[in-house]
Amino acid sequence: MTSDLPLAEQVTLIELVDRVLNKGVVIAGDITLAVADVDLVYLGLRVLLTSVASLDRVEEQQA
């Protein structure tokens, strides 16, 4: 996982993480089983956030 990855792979990885963290069904009555804020995952993947796709993500977070 480095910014040396081809653009297509970087975009795919960012898209994957975005889906797993922000999409998907949430069932009323459930609880969070992840201790810290999921923003940490983005920090972990920050090396990837150099691509064209990251502009998109940064914009979205600021919106």
- Judged by the rule CB under 8 A, the positions of this chain that interact with other proteins are 1, 7-8, 11-12, 15-17, 19-38, 40-41, 44-45, 52-53, 55-56, 59-60, 63
Nearest to other proteins of 3, 15 (CB atom): 15
Rounded to 5 degrees, what angle do the CA atoms 62, 19, 26 make? 100
Rounded to 5 degrees, what angle do the CA atoms 56, 62, 63 make? 90
Q: Residue 60 Cβ, how far from other proteins at the closest point, in Å?
A: 7
How far, in Å, CA of 36 to CA of 1, rounded? 22
Q: Residue 9 Cβ, how far from other proteins at the closest point, in Å?
A: 10
